[in-house]
Structure formats: C-alpha cells, structure tokens
Amino acid sequence: MSSYSHNTNYANRNKNSTRRRTSRSSTPEDRSQKSRVKERETHDKRRNRGKRSRTSSIEEEEKEFSKILDRKRLEKILKEKDEKRRLKEIETPDEKRARRLAKKLQKEERRRTETINAFPEGIPYTDMNNPFNDTNLTETFIWKKKWESEGKGNVSTKKAEKVNREIIAKNFAEMEQLKRNRETREAAREDMEMIARDQERRQCDWNRTEDVFHLKQAKLRSSIRIKEGRAKPIDFLARYISYADESCQDVFELDNPLTYFPKDSIDDFEDLIADVQVYRVIDGQKNKFYWDDIETFAKNGLKRLLEARKRSTDTGTVHLSVQEEVLKIFKGKTYDELEQLESQIGAKISNASRSWQSNNIREEQMNQNANDSDGEDEPKIEEKKEDAIEKPTISDFEAKKEQKMSPEKAKYDEKQIPQEAATTTIPFAIQEFFEADDEQRDQMYQQVEANNSLEHFTTVLYECGRYSPAFGSKSQTMPGIEILDVAEDVKKLDGSRLTRHKKEGTEELTAKDQRMMEIAKQGMNQDEAVFSVEEKLDKQNFLWSDKYRPRKPRYFNRVHTGFDWNKYNQTHYDIDNPPPKIVQGYRFNIFYPDLLDSTQTPTFTLIKCDVPDFSILRFCAGPPYEDIAFKIVNREWEVNYKHGYKCQFQNGIFQLWFFFKRYRYRHGRSKFFLFSLSQQFCFLLMAGLMFLFEIAAVFQIIRKVPYTEIDWATYMQHVEVYENGQRNYTEIRGDTGPIVDCFFGYPAGHLHIYRLFYHLTDHGKNIRCAQYIFGVVYLANLLLVFRLYFHSGKIPPFVLPLVCLTSYRVHSIFVLRLFNDPIAMLFFFVSLNLFISRCWLFGCVFFSFAVAVKMNILLFAPALFLVLLLSNGFIETFWLLAIAALIQVLVALEFLSFDCVAYLSRAFELSRVFLFEWTVNWRFIPEAVFVDRRFHIALLAAHLSLLAVFALKFWFRSSGGLFNSLRKLLFGVRLRLDAHDILFALFSSNLVGMAFARSLHYQFYCWYYHSIPYLLFSPLYSPNNQIAHIRDGKKLTFSSKQIAVRLAIMLGIEFCWNVFPSTSASSLLLHALHASVIVLSCRSPTSAHSPLKRG
C-alpha cells in the first residue's frame, strides 16, 4: 500500500512540474512578442519594396528567404523540444526507466566502440572472438604497481589508454617487420635452391658439351687435313654427316662413300675402323646407321685383305692375280647360273680335260655366293646415304625428260632395225656380246674375224654408243686414261640434267616484279622466314580460260615466329634455354600486276581443313590469275590495325598481314565450365540442369499462379461450331467474334489442334489438364531450342540459365494463357532441327504444319527459301515448296471444298486493322497514324529493304555471300550450309519482321524470345576459330562488359513486354532494343569471305 501511494505521489509531482514548465514556455508575452516581430518585418518589407532596384531586389529576396528559412528551422527546433517535453510529462515511470536504460546502453555502446578502436586496422579481435579466450581483451589493463614504481601513478585513464594503443601499434609494426623478414628469408632460400638446381643442370650438360666439343674438334682436324692434302679416309666420310647441317659452309662433290675406302692396306683399314669407333662415341645416336654401314664395309674389306694375305703365304691357295680373273667369271651371275657353272666345272674335273684345282674353285664359288648375299645390303646402304645427303630429286621433271627422250628413242629404234638386218652375217646377237664376259668376247671376236665381218661389227658397236673399253685392273690401265664408274657416271648425268632443267625453268623477274618484290621484303627481321608452301587445289575451270591463259600469281610471303612466354614456359624455360618457337602470324604479299579489272579487289577465303589445327587460306583475284592457297595455323586473328593487321590492295600488290591473338590462362574451374565451348559435357550438363529446373518451375507455376482466361474459351467455342457441322470459315464464331477476327489469321491447322485439346480436356472444362498439356509443349520447345544451340557451336553454357530465368512473360503465355502461338513455334522448331540435320523434306512438312496453325511463321519464309535454294538447287526446291503447299491444301480441304474464297480471304488475310489499345510497339504515335494505310506501306517498305540488306550483306558469309553462292549454284555447285548459317538467316529474318510489324500483342513475345539470345551471343564466338564447332575447341573473344550489355538488352526486352498496358516510353525502349539486337547480330566475326577496300 505504501509503495502504491509513493508511486502515485511521484507521478502527480511530475505532472504538476510539467504543467508549470508548459505554462512558462508559452506565456502571452512571448506570443505578443512574436506577433510584434512579424508586424515589424511586414512593415519594413512594404516600406522598402518600392525603393529597391532590380539588383538589390534579388539580394533582398535572398536575404528574406534565408531569414524565413532560419525562422522555420527555429520553429522546428522549438516544436521538437515541446514535443519531447510533452512526452516526458505524460510518460509513465516504467517508460521513463526504459528510456534512461536505453540511454545508458547507448553510452556503453559508444564507449565500447571507442575502446575497440584501440587495436590497429586489420585486427578483427573482439571480446567474444579472439584466440586468447579473453572476454576483457578490449579493456585497457593498467599495471598500477609498475606505473607507481615508474612514477606514473597519477596518470589519467585516457593517458593510459593512449600509451597502451601506442605500445600495441609498435608491437604490431614489429610483428609485421618480422613477417616481412621471414618472407625475405624464404625467398632467398628459394633463390638459393634455384641456383643449386641450375648448377646441377649445368653439371649435367658438361658431358654433352664436352662430346659436342670433341666432335667439332674432330671435324676441324678433318677439314685441316683435307685442305693440306693429307686427308685420311675418315675425313672424307665424316663430311657426309655434316652435309645436312645448316651451319656447314663447305662445298664439295658428293661421291660414293665407298670410293674413299683404302684399297690394299690392312693398317689403313684398321685405322679407319678405330676412327669410326671414335666418331660413333662422340656423335652419339644421331648418325648410328651411317657409321654402322661404314664399319660393316671396313670390316669386310679388312677381312678380304687378311684372307688374301693368308692365301699368299699358303702355297696351296690360288695366286691373287689368278683369283681376280676367277672372280670375273663369277661376277654378275645369278644363283641358277652359278649352279649351272658348278655342274659344268664338275663335269670338266671329272673328265680331267683341264687341270683345275677343284677345291679352290668350289671355295671361290661359295665366297661368290656369300658376296652376292652381301651385295643385297649394298643398295640399302646406298639408299641410307642418299637420304642423309638430302639429294634433290628430279621427279618433278621426269615426265618432261621422258617427252624429250621419246623422239630420240624412236629415232634410235628406227635406226636399230636396218642395223640389225645388216648384221645378219654376224653369227651372234649384239645384246649377247654386251652381256658376255671377256673370255666369251674373245671367242666372239674370233668368230667375226673368221667371217670377215670385223669392220661391219665395229661400226655397229660405234653406232650403238657402246664402244668403250672394258675395265680390267689398275695395274693394266695405261697412264692418262680416266676410269669411270658406271653408277657415278649416271649420277653425274642426272645432276647435269637437273641443273639444266632448273636453268630452263627459271624465268628472270621483270623490272615491275622486282619492284614489287622489294616492297614486299621491306621490314623483314630475324623473327620472320620466307613462307612459300602452297596448298594443292582441285582443278580450276574458269569461264575466261578460252580467252586468257590462266597463270599463278607471284608472291613473297613471310611467317612470323617467336616465343610464347606463358606461365608454363616461364616456369620451365629461361633466356638461355628458350621454349620452342611457335607461329605468331603471317604476312602475305600476292602480286597481281596484270589484273584485267583493276577495280575488282582480290578476296580471300578461309576453308576448313581435315586437320583441326590448320586451315586453308585461299586467294582469288580474277582473270588472268588462278586461285592460290596456303595452309596456315588455325587460330584466331587480331583484326585491329594496332596489332599489325593490314589488308589492302595497292599498286598491284595484295597485302594481308595478321597476327594471332594471345590468350592468358585464368584460373577458375567454374568460369571455364560456364564459358567453355570445347567440351560437349559442359553444355549438356548445364542443359540437363536447366531442364530439371524448368520442370519444377512449370509445375509450381501451374499449382500456385491462378489461370487467366483470355482466348481459351473462344477457341473451344470455335471447335464446338465446327463439331456441329459448320464448314463456312467466316461463320465459325465465339464470344469474341469469328475465328478470323482474332489478333492474327488462324488457318485450319489451328482448328484441328484445338479440336484435339477439346476432347482431351472434357470439352475445354478441365483447365488444369490443358495447362499440363501446354507445360509439356513448353518443355518440348525448350529441348528443341537447346539442341539448336548445341549444334550451332556458338552458345556457351552460361546462356542457358539466362534463357530460363528471364522468361516470365513466356511462361505466362504457355501455361497461364493457353494461346496457340506456342503450338505454332513448336512445329517450327521441329522443322528447324530437321533443317540443320539436312532432312529437307520432313523439315518442309513440319514448317507447313506450323504455318497451318498460325501465319506468323511466314516471317521466316524469305530466309528459308534461300536456304532451300542454295542447298538443294532449283528443281528440288520447287518440289519441296510444292509439298509444303500440298500440306496446306490437305489440312484445309474441308473448308476449301465448301468455300475456297472465304477460307483464303480470312485465314491468310494481311490487310486486317489492329486495335490501338492492344499494341505494344507503337504506343508513342497517335492512333490516327497507327491506323493509316500509308504508315502500313512505309513499314512494309522498310521491312523489305532491311531484309534485302541482310540477305546481301550478312547471310551465308561463310560461303562468300549470297551473290557468290548463287553464282556457284548456276554452275551446279550446291552449298553445304552449317547450322549457324541456317539459324542466323532464319532468326534475323524473323527479327526484322518483328521490328517493323504493324502491331505486336503480348502473346507475340514467344515468336522471337528464344532467338534473341542466339543473335546476341553467337557473334561473340569466332570460328577460326572461324572453322571449328563446339567439339573442336574455341577461344573466348569477349569481355564481361559485352556480356553485361547483352544481358541488359535481354532484361530490357523482357521489361517492355511486361509493362501492361504499354506506354510510350516502353514502346520507344522496345524499338531501341530491337535496333541494338540487329546491330550487334550484324557485327559477327564469322565472315570468312571479306571483300577488301582498295588502298
């Protein structure tokens, strides 16, 4: 009781004090004072109003305004104080305690915040979050005993906190210094480890460097001995391994290496074998097979000499001179001939007709068989030697040589016939004489002398060109006689023919060509090399070939190489051991000095190659020059002139200079996954995830969002009228009017499709079932769109979420409005998938079905006609269009048979006037202009003009443009258009039609929604990767800024279609966004055939 009375008295006292304060704050004197101030101000203002000048009036007005503003501020402050005072007067004790407690907590929070600032920046420690588990960490600890011992016992708390903050900052600065010192030591340790690894690598390279040095010294000794005329056999043989070395500057004649072998010295053979062993060690495995062959021949020669020495010391053996004569008998004979000779010798031995040493003869015969088997390896060694020497072949002019020799051969054959007829007195054939040995030839000479035909016989030998003395031995050769080896003589003859052929085939450059060559060689540095490897083209047929002789243009091309110092190469290579050079660019200089039409600029085309890493660059100029092509590296070009790009035709020289783009590695697996075009798995995984997301989204939309009735009931009424037997198309009506009074013409296919829905949904009453049907239609539509994106190779995985997440209006059109536009687009996307799979017949069938549902599909027709024409030719295109027209007739056969004119005039009516209140794109113009026929004609003219520009400039650019494609078609060449060419042509044709449509209604959004992402993002990917698909690996050619711009365009278009009702601003913005999409889609880098500006 006492406490209650105490509280009541306390509350009464507060009320009384509040009343007294209120009465004092608003006394009558104060009010009268304020009124007098106002009257005085008003009086002064009226008195001075007529005396102010124009300048002073402005200043006074500013002063007056500032005074009024100050007065208003003062009044506001007083009002707030009064309100605060009033609240205090009427507040209860509990509210007062709560207010004071809140004020106390604010002070504590402010003090705690000031205490937290004691730590330096970057230290996230608090009382509740620190590694020391100290709940009073932010409070200042004062060591009183220590401070008193230091004479600082009377220091204030603020001073102590300041000192502590300084100490903490000093400690943290020292800790940061220690951290930097530790990092410096670790860096120095890493440097020392790197130096140690370099030292170990140098030590490992010393042995290899020593071997290279010894090899160089051996070659140097050989060259010195050769120059001084005291060369050894190894010196001549070692020259062959250095012939392929580019640094070799010696010029010498490439003879048969076997001619440098010792002849009769065993010591020379032993020295040669020892020298070969030395070269084998210091040369390594580089020329292993060459030294193996040399060693084999040397050992064979040494063995032969040792056996000869043994025979010379043995009295039972045959003398060396006799042995040479015996070997001549066996030389050149086959195995069968040797067996026949063996039987003859055996018969002679048995008859004892002559004194033969049978054992030695048989031994020689066995040696000869062994030599024949060794001779089989000799061509192999010769072939290896020729490969190592890099002898120029003469295969390129063998045909010409045969043509030159064929008349001489025919002439020789004509002479041969009478000569052979004249030698009938000779008892043997001339060919037998050439193939006989010396003993047989002696017998033949005796027969000729016996027949007195020696003179005639020698004349025949001379005319045959075979009158040449046979080689016996060096000891029997007279001094001054040159001994010719048959094989060497043939090689010299072929070499002289090759030299003469090169001289005859080399045409001297004219003065004009020489000037062009000097221009092309300007600026050539050490990183560039001449590039002259032409790619063989198919046989070219020109219309002007009967008037002008086609010829290949001259050229001087350069390839630019260099080091790519990427992260990997920086880690594994350095300046002393650089990485392999790569091709960084090309500079093509093609000379067309005699071009007939100088106004026609040469063009170039990039063609796909069998190997994905390369492509073929083809140049075309016109008469009288043939096309020329080169195989280059398949990488993306830098087309900015600041990076060295140059493409001009000036003074008869066509110059195409370009460098490849350099790509930097950026870590991030998620980013690579979203932006990768090189793996099918990335795209398919993202498509699968988005499809599952769409299934769940469609199901939730049908369940949660209420259905909106617009045209579904009308469609069902149309079907009921049709079911009742009405076949006059103009009499099929619903609540909103006849079937043709809807927003767009509905052919008979629409009626048949919704007739099926009529029976599936219980005469249209089961709306939920209809929504699920349209949900399936939406998901099927999405799968078809994903397949188009995948096969085009132009859409990265990150675009798929944008397609699914920015489609609020499209979801509404499909599953909440149940329009017939999704059905028409479903048939169209089925036909488009068939077109890119080159199933032209079924594609035209489904396209005709789409037109039979709704005639907006005809917006794709211009591009589709050109695609069919270029891919199938005139006749097949005619039949495909006839089949599509037949489908239309079959679908509408009931109505055409009843009233043909009524059906055609209503189902495909193009002169219908739309309502201004439903338009989305022309809200900003007056209604009178909107319904004006002249405005409709202007839109149609603009539509056709822009469509013609797209067809001529931007469609089918990978095939050289529309004109070149039609020119090829006239010559019977059909194009094989890829998926991007077909999609870009059809999508852009539809976009142009939508941009210039007389009116767009909200359900029309699904006509081009799925084509907008393709037109925006497909130009960002280069196929050069200009020639690769999604499986070949492409590089990104865009920045995050470009992605942001395109995403903003997609969101802007979605916003414009969701503004209901439409406004002037939304209509203008929609037109601006349409223009942006058209411009961005035209800036595609996929043009492989680029006409160049003349310099």
pLDDT tens digits, 294-352: 888 888 888 888 877 776 665 555 555 566 677 777 777 777 788 888 887 877 776 65
More confident residue, 1051 or 215: 1051
Altogether, the residues listed in the chain come to a count of: 1095
CA distance 856 to 848: 12
Q: Check whether residue 639 and residue 681 sit in a common domain.
A: no
pLDDT at 323: 66
Considering the domain boundaries, does residue 247 fall inside one?
A: yes
Residue 751, number of CB atoms within 10 A of its CB: 26
733 pairs with which residues across the strands? 738
Rounded mean pLDDT, 492-521: 59
Q: What percent of the chain has pLDDT over 90?
A: 8
Considering the domain boundaries, does residue 163 fall inside one?
A: yes
Q: Check whether residue 572 and residue 476 sit in a common domain.
A: no
Peptide bond just before 624 cis, omega within 30 deg = yes
> Of 283, 300, 316, which closes a domain?
316
pLDDT at 517: 67
Considering the domain boundaries, does residue 138 fall inside one?
A: no
> Which of 32-36, 138-142, 185-189, 213-217 is predicted most confidently?
185-189
pLDDT at 31: 62
528 pairs with which residues across the strands? 560
> Of 354, 373, 391, which closes a domain?
391
> Of 287, 316, 345, which closes a domain?
316
What pLDDT band is residue 1095 in, cutting at 50, 70 and 90? very low
CA distance 275 to 266: 14
User: What is the 3-class SS of 409-456, one letter each residue?
Assistant: HHHHHHHHHHHHHHHHHCCCCHHHHHHCCHHHHHHHHHHHHHCCCHHH
Q: Check whether residue 687 and residue 797 sit in a common domain.
A: yes
pLDDT at 32: 62
CA distance 694 to 786: 13
Q: Check whether residue 753 and residue 680 sit in a common domain.
A: yes
What pLDDT band is residue 662 in, cutting at 50, 70 and 90? confident
Judged by average pLDDT, the poorest of 705-719, 725-739, 786-800, 807-821 is 725-739
Q: What percent of the chain has pLDDT over 70?
A: 72
Token code pair at residue 908: 């495909």
Token code pair at residue 164: 């502590």
What pLDDT band is residue 373 in, cutting at 50, 70 and 90? very low
The answer to whether 1011 and 987 have CB atoms below 8 angstroms apart is: yes
CA distance 417 to 425: 15
The total number of structural domains in the chain stands at 6
From the list 1018, 1044, 1033, the residue with the least C-alpha distance to 676 is: 1033
Tell me the residue ranges of DSSP E strands in 763-884: none
The answer to whether 558 and 657 have CB atoms below 8 angstroms apart is: no
Domain residue limits at 959: 672-1082
Question: Over 70: is that where the pLDDT of 66 sits?
Answer: yes
pLDDT tens digits, 679-735: 567 788 888 898 999 999 888 888 888 887 887 888 888 888 888 887 777 777 766
The answer to whether 290 and 241 have CB atoms below 8 angstroms apart is: yes
The answer to whether 820 and 788 have CB atoms below 8 angstroms apart is: no
Q: Check whether residue 661 and residue 707 sit in a common domain.
A: no
Question: Over 70: is that where the pLDDT of 578 sits?
Answer: yes
Considering the domain boundaries, does residue 904 fall inside one?
A: yes
CA distance 189 to 197: 12
CA distance 761 to 773: 10
Token code pair at residue 943: 């539509």
Peptide bond just before 602 cis, omega within 30 deg = no
CA distance 995 to 1081: 14
Question: Over 70: is that where the pLDDT of 887 sits?
Answer: yes
Question: Over 70: is that where the pLDDT of 395 sits?
Answer: no
CA distance 754 to 764: 9
pLDDT at 426: 76
- Own/partner pairs, 542-548, CB within 8 angstroms, 24+ separation: 542/623, 542/626, 544/623, 544/624, 547/623, 548/596, 548/623, 548/624
pLDDT at 684: 86
What pLDDT band is residue 43 in, cutting at 50, 70 and 90? low
More confident residue, 1084 or 1035: 1084
Token code pair at residue 102: 């809140």
Residue 419, number of CB atoms within 10 A of its CB: 15
Q: Check whether residue 224 and residue 185 sit in a common domain.
A: yes
pLDDT at 1031: 33
Rounded mean pLDDT, 169-173: 86
Q: Check whether residue 685 and residue 616 sit in a common domain.
A: no
Return mean pLDDT, the chain: 75
From the list 829, 846, 836, the residue with the least C-alpha distance to 867 is: 836
pLDDT at 455: 77
pTM exceeding the 0.85 threshold for the entire prediction: no
More confident residue, 1037 or 1091: 1037
CA distance 495 to 504: 14
- Own/partner pairs, 801-804, CB within 8 angstroms, 24+ separation: 801/686, 801/690, 802/1013, 802/1047, 802/1050, 803/690, 803/1010, 803/1013, 804/690, 804/693, 804/694, 804/697
Q: Check whether residue 499 and residue 521 sit in a common domain.
A: no
pLDDT tens digits, 406-449: 444 444 444 443 444 344 467 777 777 777 777 777 778 777 77
Tell me the residue ranges of DSSP E strands in 75-176: none
Considering the domain boundaries, does residue 491 fall inside one?
A: yes
Q: Check whether residue 27 and residue 47 sit in a common domain.
A: yes
At residue 644, φ and ψ (nearest 5 deg) are 95, 10
pLDDT at 368: 53
Q: Check whether residue 367 and residue 247 sit in a common domain.
A: no
From the list 564, 587, 583, the residue with the least C-alpha distance to 644 is: 587
Considering the domain boundaries, does residue 1006 fall inside one?
A: yes
Q: Check whether residue 616 and residue 545 sit in a common domain.
A: yes
More confident residue, 943 or 971: 943
From the list 650, 659, 651, 655, the residue with the least C-alpha distance to 632 is: 659
From the list 813, 724, 846, the residue with the least C-alpha distance to 1008 is: 813
What pLDDT band is residue 830 in, cutting at 50, 70 and 90? very high
The answer to whether 729 and 718 have CB atoms below 8 angstroms apart is: no
pLDDT at 117: 59
The answer to whether 917 and 1061 have CB atoms below 8 angstroms apart is: yes
Considering the domain boundaries, does residue 648 fall inside one?
A: yes
Q: Check whether residue 580 and residue 614 sit in a common domain.
A: yes
What pLDDT band is residue 845 in, cutting at 50, 70 and 90? very high
Angle at 736 between CA 734 and CA 739, to 5 degrees: 60
Question: Over 60: is that where the pLDDT of 121 sits?
Answer: yes
Considering the domain boundaries, does residue 149 fall inside one?
A: no
pLDDT at 679: 54
Token code pair at residue 705: 């969002």
CA distance 234 to 601: 61
Residue type, 213: F
pLDDT at 1029: 34
DSSP for residue 741: G
> Which of 89-98, 184-193, 415-424, 569-578 is predicted most confidently?
184-193
